[in-house]
Structure 1
Amino acid sequence: MTIKEELRGKNIIIPDNPVSNFLFNNTRSGLLWLVVRLYLGYAWLNAGWHKVTNDAWVGSNAGKGLEGFINGALGKAADGKDVTGWYATFLENAVLPNAKVFSYMVAFGEVLVGLGLILGLLTGVAAFFGAFMNASFLFAGTLSTNPLLFILATWIVLGWKVAGWYGLDRWALPLLGTPWTRKKSG
């Protein structure tokens, strides 16, 4: 019998290394995640608050701020720098014509991500959407703090089970459950 035949149909579990186990499964790592969450949450809340209180993002001139950002990205694409053609096409044909809607989504999305991370509520979900926005900004050719924020957000996504331990997730996650632990009705 070959190894392949022997392993067929068996569920093989490979244990985590001690560092990964501590960071992503142990509630004692919650203090480390608290520091990361507060830093990341403040960065998002601050950025979002500046947009929410800016008329060019939310208000009578909504969309003007985002249009300026997109036009800058399109300029980088035209120069063959920093922005790929497919993303420039997406910005030009999907985002730019709907700049007002996207402007509200970005501004309030940043605030919600910041609040979720600071409060430790649905921490993994908040971090995922923060990372998604960071990736979008990176595709648009904007570096700034986006690479650091993206890395921290992806780590929080990986540590979602314990990243909100010192926050509202400590109570929310057991109440909400997870798709693989929900009790079946009936």
Structure 2
Amino acid sequence: MSKEINIPENPVSRFLFSSTKAGWIWLFVRLYLGYSWITAGWKKVNSDAWVGENGGAAIKGFVSGALAKAEEGKDVTGWYASFLENMVLPNAKVFAVMVAFGELLVGIGLIVGLLTGIAAFFGAIMNVSFLFAGTLSTNPLLFILATWLVLAWKNAGWYGLDRFALPLLGTPWARKGNEFVGHDRNNTSV
């Protein structure tokens, strides 16, 4: 029978990812990412090529560019090109709405600090999708920052609505019977 070994967390990661004092650091990261997402999403939501009468035209152009890169053997792998061609292109209008409103919602979530880890996760998914499609731009930086926010989910929204929402919502792994048990920042039951 093997004995469980607990390796203590180093003080730097404990501070960055668990201490509410590091919430100020994450506030600046959240606001930068949130502003980036909300401005991009707002432009798309108000664009005819994304969600208006010509909804999906922008996605079709983006996908066509990615498929051209894949044919040249540049920046886009075959499996992702296949996904773009067979899933995204035929459903361009749906994907355009999902991207536009997804960017807007991620931005709002990050700015107000509500469900910060979840918002950052979906932002990172979009960044990776753009990277797979061969678009560099600011996506690598935004992906790295979003990944850090996902890791700091417990304290990244401390200066935001998560300070109140997370203790009320609890976590799926802290269940008591059929109800979720809320926890405060010191992992004591609320």
SS at match of 1:113: helix
The answer on 1:43 being equivalent to 2:40 is no
Question: CA–CA distance in 2 between the matches of 1:185 and 1:60?
Answer: 46
Report Cα offsets for 1:150-183 as digits up to 9, x if no partner.
Answer: 0000000000000000000000000000012232
Map of 1:149-160 to 2, 5 A cutoff?
149-160=142-153
Which structure dedicates a bigger proportion of its chain to helix? Answer: 1
Q: Structure 2: which 5+ runs fail to align?
A: 180-190
> Residue 65 in 1 paired to residue 80 in 2?
no
1:12 deviation in Å?
1.6
Name which one, 1 or 2, has greater alpha-carbon Rg.
1
Stretches of structure 1 lacking an aligned partner (at least 5 in a row): 1-7
CA distance in 1, matches of 2:67, 2:178: 52
Counterparts of residues 97-136 of structure 1 (less than 5 Å):
97-136=90-129
Task: Name which of 10, 24, 27 aligns with 1:17.
Answer: 10
Matched, 1:91 2:84: yes
In 2, Cα distance between equivalents of 1:176 and 1:11: 30
Aligned to 2:186: none
Read off the aligned partner of 1:66 and give its amino acid letter. Answer: I
User: What's the counterpart of residue 72 of structure 2?
Assistant: 79
TM-score by length of 2: 0.92
- Is structure 2 residue 45 aligned with structure 1 residue 52? yes
Query: RMSD of aligned C-alpha atoms?
Result: 1.0
Q: Which amino acid aligns with 1:97?
A: P
The number of residues matched between the two structures is 179
Instruction: Name the aligned partner's letter for residue 91 of structure 1.
Output: L
Find the partner of 1:32 among 25, 29, 35. 25
State the shift of 1:185 in Å.
Answer: 4.0
> For residues 185 and 93 of structure 1, what CA distance do their matches in structure 2 show?
41
| Structure-2 residue corresponding to 1:4 | none
- Identity, in percent, stands at 73
